[in-house]
Structure 1
Amino acid sequence: MRRLPPRRPGRTNFWDHLSELERRTLVQVGVARRVHVNETLPVRDGPGIAIVTEGAWVRLQAGNARTSRSVIDLAAPGDLISALHPTDPANPQWPEEATDIYGVVLARGVILDVAQEMIPIILGDLPYIPTLIRRIQNDQLHFAWQLQAGRRLKIDIRLARLLLGLLHRFGEKPVGQHNVLMPPLSQGDLAAWIGASETSVGRVLKRWRCEGLVRTGYSTVAITDHKVLRAIADSPTMPYAKLPTTVGEMAAGYLNLGRTRSVPVPADLPPGLHVRGADGHLPQGPYRGTRAQRRGDR
């Protein structure tokens, strides 16, 4: 059976959307340092930008103990470790139970840190960056709140939603005869992300392997039957909706954006869940042309 081309990432990658001038400026004012697997990176409460570069992957989690941690999100090469507090400590928050947030390195690489005192300079000279960060905040919060909203669903539904969400956001890479999800996640990471025990997640993955839905390896998962997994992800009480992955899809899901100070709740989230505090304005895509031209576009 011929392997299909791997699916491309659908999320907004911070570094890829910057101009050369913006990249050079961040490199000049920031400090690059090498990080290693299992290194813990405290996520500061105040302003500051930390960018994952050169191959690193970082798992964002609440709590630092293996048995009590809760995975919140991932940062791939080019991503901000956390987009919620890089420019303003009053930015939106993760779900309520997400306190004492840490970043844990999953694959070694380099982190570019921009200190708090440099943030006003960055915002003043590079006005596109805060707009881009707000767009990434919308992406991250939509994903986090959608998973949080499904915490009472059956484990197989939660796990299917997580795997499909990772597929849409981070894409796949070819490994051997299969395309595997890009993130290097263990079975324990998947369990901590959906709020289930590692044993329960292991049973579901074993059943799916027997049914030909997935293939698993060391910190790898390959989805081999997307249609069936998509059917599993649906629930009569909370239908599954693919996360918006393009500007057009996001515009369709976030109505009446404007320059407000709150994010409209997407239609696929149940009533009562509110995402707080980010600007709902959606930029019209990555950098194009000079800064003056870009200001005119906006």
Structure 2
Amino acid sequence: MSLFGQDRSFLDALGVQDRRALLAEGAPRTYEPGDVMIRERDTTTYVLALLSGWAVVSVETERSARLILALRGAGEVVGDQAAVDQGSRSATVTALGRVEAVAVSGVRFRGFLAARPHATSLIMRQLSTRLRSSDIERRSLASGTVLQRLAARLVELAERAGRRADEGIVLELPLPQHDLAAAIGATREAVAKALRLLREQDVVRTANRTVIVTDLQVLLLLAQGRGQPPGTRPPEKSPPAV
């Protein structure tokens, strides 16, 4: 399962001239932390090209719980599915911090793709990657323990948004506990319990919306379902809060 997109973002893969052409089609927008950039089930079709900052992609489950599907950063585009198929929005996109973006109308975005087969291929590849990631996510929610799913998320955040320091790997993209819970389909209480277990065994340290991974190897084994913190019993499986 993965919160992040492909290693190379859509804007980077476009090339300089095509990237400039796409950005010239839109208008700049700035979002503050917590601002809803795109809302699930809306019928708008504009696309947002992210220039800086991070955004959270989430959906509302049948039980009215929030499930985080992905994190999107600079160089990526969001809202492209509705722009291409002109259907309703499939997810909500919320600014995690301050986000600078360029908004391109659905009509202009489709015109941009029509004139550039390479860009169309990149979008189709992006949609395919996200669909495969969604399939993997469903399997994880059905079979993984809360501890295993949390460990996998923390490993991914450490590898993709971590900064090495003397005390360990500091996650540069801090998510509060309720967002960590929403990112693994669990309750906040279950995530707090799993974090406490990891802290007690000095696998991670936490403080004021900051997580420091102190033992990445143990965390990786937990994510793979191949180990557990020393001196603990194997965790019981917990049904996902979805």
User: Could you say which TM-score interval applies, normalised by the shorter chain?
Assistant: 0.7 to 0.9
After TM superposition, give the deviation of residue 106 of structure 1 in Å: 0.9
Match of 1:140 among 130, 150, 167: 130
Whole-angstrom distance in 1 between the partners of 2:156 and 2:43 = 27
Change (3 A) 1:140 1:165: farther
Structure-2 residue corresponding to 1:53: 51
Structure 1 runs not aligned, ≥5 long: 1-8, 94-98, 237-298
TM-score (norm 1): 0.64
RMSD: 2.8
Whole-angstrom distance in 1 between the partners of 2:6 and 2:211 = 18
After TM superposition, give the deviation of residue 177 of structure 1 in Å: 4.5
Contact 1:143 1:165 in 2 (8 A): no
Residue-by-residue CA offset, 1:248-290 (whole Å, 9 max, x unaligned):
xxxxxxxxxxxxxxxxxxxxxxxxxxxxxxxxxxxxxxxxxxx
Q: Which amino acid in 1 is paired with 2:47?
A: I
Name the one with the larger helix percent: 2
Structure 2 runs not aligned, ≥5 long: 227-242
Identity, % of aligned pairs? Answer: 24
Structure-1 residue corresponding to 2:231: none
After TM superposition, give the deviation of residue 190 of structure 1 in Å: 0.9
Q: Which amino acid in 2 is paired with 1:40?
A: V
After TM superposition, give the deviation of residue 10 of structure 1 in Å: 6.5
Structure-2 residue corresponding to 1:155: 146
Match of 2:24 among 13, 28, 33: 28
Change (3 A) 1:218 1:57: farther
After TM superposition, give the deviation of residue 189 of structure 1 in Å: 0.5
Contact 1:181 1:222 in 2 (8 A): yes
Structure-2 residue corresponding to 1:209: 199
Q: Which amino acid in 2 is paired with 1:12?
A: R
1:60 partner SS: strand
Contact 2:203 2:213 in 1 (8 A): yes
Whole-angstrom distance in 2 between the partners of 1:140 and 1:166 = 18
Whole-angstrom distance in 2 between the partners of 1:224 and 1:10 = 27
Stretch moving more, 207-216 or 21-30: 207-216
1:151 partner SS: helix
Whole-angstrom distance in 2 between the partners of 1:135 and 1:156 = 32
1:227 partner SS: helix
